[in-house]
Amino acid sequence: MRKKVTLKDIAKDAGVSISTVSRALARTGDISSDKERAIFESAHRLNYPLSIDSMPFEHRKCVNIALVTFFFTGEFFSSLFHGFDKATMGTNANVKLVSVSHSGSNQVGTIAELKKSGFDAAVIFLPDFVEKDYRNLLKAIPENFPLVSSAPIVSPVLDTVTFDHYRGGYSIASHFNDQGFKKLGIIQGPASKSEALLRKNGYTDFIAKSDDLSLVWEAKGDYSIDAGINAYKNYRESVVKPDAIFCSNDDVAIGFMHSAIRHGVMIPHDVAIASFDDLPKCEYHTPTITSVRTPYDILGKKVIDLILERLQDGSSHQHTGYTSLVPVSLSIRESTTGCTKFSREHYKRFTELAQKV
């Protein structure tokens, strides 16, 4: 049977008195940083049972952060988690995915219990949350539990780190203009989600300030492939058709292009397509898809740095609605610049084959 580790064992290993060990572990009294470090390192080495709450932040071996979201299958969520996981490199942070998909209406209660499950902080990506949900969450979580949101809302309650969705929509309209497309369209994202509204506003604001551009076609949608398929039906029946369309995300673009190609529509010769998120599928679609790149690793790094800062300075619950925007960029591909690898005859042959499948 293994001998129980005592304060005396730690004192001997660290080369200090028992009373100094007692004061260090209880976080009382004035102890030099060198002695404190030696004591906690000895305690770790000897497997002395330490309380996480009483352990100085700088001596923690690992900080556990929950990435809380409604998890669904697909490239978006795997890319999101991969970005956060990549961002932990070189830090003592450990990010774990926590899904509230099956929590019913008690998502707030699930998040409030995370500290009891060994988590030190949480980043929440819950685009369905509104201001009331965030305020209820702040009332429910422990005082020393940092929270950061990665989903924008009109009036931020939590500290928020998110992508510059407005600039993304703006850059697509600017790109269409550079390519000579004048009659533009949009397949909107969910009306209830702030980031969808920001993407649309960026896009339409650029159009509104230009004398040459006009928004001639709009379709409502969500972020699903089916929304793109349904939008194509609307497009096909429209008398006035746009030269180029901004799809609210990559799945909507996939759905629209899938239906369009099967009906002989040539992209971008008949209509150009651009989307948002720049998931890996954009590079493997035919034609490849122009999309706004959202760097999830940079988002993850900014969130993790903010959480570690909050833990270190003890300001974990002083939420001011601080918002930091992560820059986005446009990955330009064949769906807006011409099928560089295919002549019109090759493209026609490809669409004919697609219609037969």
- Per-residue model confidence (pLDDT) at position 12: 84
Task: Look at 263-267, 309-313, 315-319 and tell me which has the smallest mean pLDDT.
Answer: 315-319
Is 235 within a domain? yes
Tell me, yes or no, whether 219 and 335 share the same domain. Answer: yes
CATH of the domain at 284: 3.40.50.2300
Two structure tokens written together for 302: 């900014």
Provide the pLDDT for residue 345.
54
What is the reported pLDDT for 2? 59
The answer for residues whose C-beta is within 8 angstroms of residue 78's C-beta and 6 or more apart is none
Mean pLDDT estimate for the chain: 86
Q: Is pLDDT larger for residue 170 or for residue 311?
A: 170
Strand 183-187 to 147-149 pairing: unpaired
**Alpha carbon distance 191, 223 (integer Å):** 11
Q: Are residues 279 and 348 in the same domain?
A: yes
Instruction: Reduce the DSSP state of residue 227 to 3 states and report it.
Output: helix
Report the first-to-last Cα separation within the chain, whole angstroms: 69
In this predicted structure, what is the pLDDT of residue 323? 87
CATH code, 51: 1.10.260
CA distance 278 to 275: 8
Which of 47-51, 75-79, 163-167, 251-255 comes out lowest in average pLDDT?
A: 47-51
Per residue in 300-312, pLDDT (tens digit) is 999 999 998 888 7
In a domain, 1, yes or no: no
Same domain, 259 and 287: yes
C-alpha to C-alpha distance for 94 and 116, rounded to whole angstroms: 17
pLDDT (mean) for 252-269: 95
Is the domain of 91 the same as that of 214? no
Q: Side by side, which strands form the sheet with 93-99?
A: 93-99, 63-69, 121-125, 147-149, 159-163, 323-326
**Residue 201 counted as domain residue:** yes
Q: 348: which residues sit within 8 A by CB, 6+ positions away? A: 266
Query: Given 3-state DSSP classes, what are the helix, strand and coil percentages for the chain, each rounded to the nearest 5?
Result: 45, 15, 40
Q: Tell me how far CA of residue 45 lies from CA of 8, 13, 34, 126, in angstroms.
A: 14, 10, 16, 40
* Same domain (yes/no): 95, 230: no
Q: Is the domain of 101 the same as that of 213?
A: no
Kindly state the DSSP code that residue 285 receives in the 8-state scheme. Answer: S
Number of domains in the chain: 3
Do 266 and 210 belong together in one domain?
Answer: yes
Q: Range of 144's domain?
A: 63-163+296-327
pLDDT band at residue 260 using 50, 70 and 90 as cut-offs: very high
Let me know whether 171 and 121 are in one domain: no
Q: Examine residue 210 and state whether it is found in any structural domain, yes or no.
A: yes
In terms of domains, do 84 and 193 share one?
A: no
Burial of 268 by CB count in 10 Å (0-12 exposed, 13-18 middle, 19+ buried)?
Answer: buried
Q: Choose among 207, 185, 206: nearest CA to 256.
A: 185
Q: Are residues 307 and 288 in the same domain?
A: no
Which residue type is seen at 302? K
Regarding whether 263 and 347 lie in a shared domain, the answer is yes
Residue 340 predicted with pLDDT over 50:
no
Q: Is residue 73 part of a domain?
A: yes
Q: Is residue 14 part of a domain?
A: yes
Question: How does pLDDT run across 101-111, given as a tens digit for each residue?
Answer: 776 668 888 88
Is residue 267 in some structural domain? yes
Burial of 196 (0-12, 13-18, 19+ CB in 10 A): buried
Asked, for residue 2, whether it belongs to a domain, the answer is: no
Looking at the structure, tell me whether residues 131 and 251 fall in a common domain: no
